[in-house]
Amino acid sequence: MSGVGFDPRPRVVEESGVARLLGSRCTACGHVLAFQAPRCPLCRGPLAEARFGPDGSVWSATVVRVAVPGREPPYGLAYVDLDAGPRVLAHYRPAGDRALRVGARVRLRGCTPQGDPAVEERR
Amino acid sequence: MSVSIWGVGTSHFGKQPGETLVGLASRAVHEALADAGVDEVDAVFVGTVFGAPGVAPRVLHALGVTRVPIVSIENACASGTSAYHEAHSAVALGRYERVLALGFEQMTALFDGAIHPEASDAEGRMGMALPSLYAMSAARYLEVFGTRREQLALVSVKNRRHAAGNPRAQYRKPCSLEEVLASRMIADPLTLLQCCPIADGAAAAVLGPARGRPGEVRVRASSHRSGALWDHRSPHVWGFEIARDTARAAYEGAGIGPEDLDVLELHDAFTIGEIVTSEALGLAQEGRGGELLESGHTTLGGRQPVNPSGGLLSRGHPLGATGLAQLAEIVWQLRGAAGARQVEGARLGLVETMGGGVSGIDGNACVVTVLER
């Protein structure tokens, strides 16, 4: 709705051809999150930058088929639990017009042209 | 102090582009004031999500409500029930005597389909519309519990059948399981008829100390909280834990359990929402909400009817108005004034509303209240 300067989306970095999520880990309690934040939202401990992925499992997924401003349906959305990392929302290209199945193994592949973190299924 | 709902009122719910907010609010407020038997109130709590700055006093002065404190609350889909919760607290603490809770929304002026995701939110910025959030709950739930798509769709069939008896609902025509499943896919596995329609509407309630007059409905408990962190540690689908925990607090406050309830209005913005919430409220074990529905337990004529009004799926969902419309429905049910959709002999009822749209937590807000005749 509102025009926003700050981009609140999770950040993905590419290192040696491997896409990784740039998140945080609490140095006090070990909680991991997909974002940068001033403090750990669990224990208010200090956070250190941490990289996660690229591999993970689909917690759940859907294909959005309604018009959303700035995006062309259909597009896939999945909650992905990165291995030893946080749950993160990611885009994917639906294969055969079907949603990714729960539990599917996926890999971060950088960002979509709109700048959304994206995954693809590992086969 | 023991608090009662003295009166309730609502506008018609539906797409009413020719209406003004003042017109919608007028019907709700004047009906509620007349029902309560009062001309004046001492304070107003207003729930609205998309209202412009100043919308509450702008609407209220046109209804002759001036020179009293007015507080506006935005709590997503739970804005109306949040306003009610604050009105209840204010009376319970002796701060005011006659308090108006009002919710309204004029959504056809803003959207012609799903609410736009909020760009200042991480997931909203990624194109996460609310149907997709619930769709992912549905996909996960179907996979984990082996529930069938037909069981999900049955929520729409049931609530539409209930709405046939509700002249203020947006959609009153019955629909078949086949129609629900064959309607356009919105976000897999949720089809169009499994998503509540946007609407314009207003609803209101007047609360005050219990006076023991006929028609009063006593508030046994009201509970309100925001969501806990929802992340990789949660084994539950989004929205389950906040509803479970808010309901537990309300049950404890009322000194009852879910088995004591005669009638419920709960947040069925999407079919999966009613199934998951029926479990979170303790009507069924986790994963068994589909079976509960299929058994007829939650249908009018069953042991514990859920959403006799037709729910958000049939009434439509003008965000700020919804919670107070749910409340009005339970008040009418407990008075035996619900006409064709009356739950016979209902004494104890519950309202649950939950709002979402903030990523990282399992709900912006949830309100659960227990009411008694």
B150 touches chain A (CB under 8 A): no
Q: What is the pLDDT of residue A1?
A: 42
Q: What is the pLDDT of residue B90?
A: 98
Tell me how far CA of residue B193 lies from CA of A65, B154, B159, B312, in angstroms.
14, 11, 11, 11
Q: What is the pLDDT of residue A5?
A: 75
Using a 10 angstrom Cβ sphere, with 0-12 exposed, 13-18 middle and 19 or more buried, the burial of residue A47 is buried
Using a 10 angstrom Cβ sphere, with 0-12 exposed, 13-18 middle and 19 or more buried, the burial of residue B345 is exposed
In chain B, residues 225-254 whose CB comes closer than 8 Å to chain A: 229, 231-232, 237
Residues of chain B with confidence (pLDDT) below 50: none
pLDDT tens, position by position, for chain A (123 residues)? 445 578 999 999 999 999 999 999 999 999 999 999 999 999 999 999 999 999 999 999 999 999 899 899 999 999 999 999 999 999 999 999 999 999 999 999 999 999 999 999 998
DSSP B233: T
Integer Cα distance of B317 and B116 in angstroms:
15
DSSP A9: S
Contact B131 A116 (CB under 8 A): no
B188 touches chain A (CB under 8 A): yes
DSSP B260: G
Q: Which residues, in sequence order, are CB contacts of A50 under 8 Å at separation 6+?
A: A23, A24, A25, A32, A85
Tell me how far CA of residue B200 lies from CA of B22, B82, B142, in angstroms.
12, 19, 32
Between the two ends of chain B, the Cα-to-Cα distance in Å is 17
Q: What is the pLDDT of residue A4?
A: 53
Query: pLDDT per residue over B111-155, tens digit each?
Result: 988 899 999 999 999 999 999 999 999 999 999 999 999 999 999
Using a 10 angstrom Cβ sphere, with 0-12 exposed, 13-18 middle and 19 or more buried, the burial of residue B228 is middle
Q: What is the pLDDT of residue B231?
A: 96
Contact A69 B136 (CB under 8 A): no
Kindly state the helix (H) or strand (E) to which residue A91 belongs, with its residue range. strand A87-92
Using a 10 angstrom Cβ sphere, with 0-12 exposed, 13-18 middle and 19 or more buried, the burial of residue A30 is exposed
In terms of DSSP bridges, do strands B99-106 and B200-209 run parallel, antiparallel, or are they unpaired? antiparallel
Beta bridge partners of B352: B368
What was the ipTM of the complex prediction?
0.95
Q: What is the pLDDT of residue B354?
A: 97
In chain A, residues 18-77 whose CB comes closer than 8 Å to chain B: 32-33, 35, 41-42, 59-71, 75, 77
* Cα angle A108-A51-A49, degrees, rounded to a multiple of 5: 145
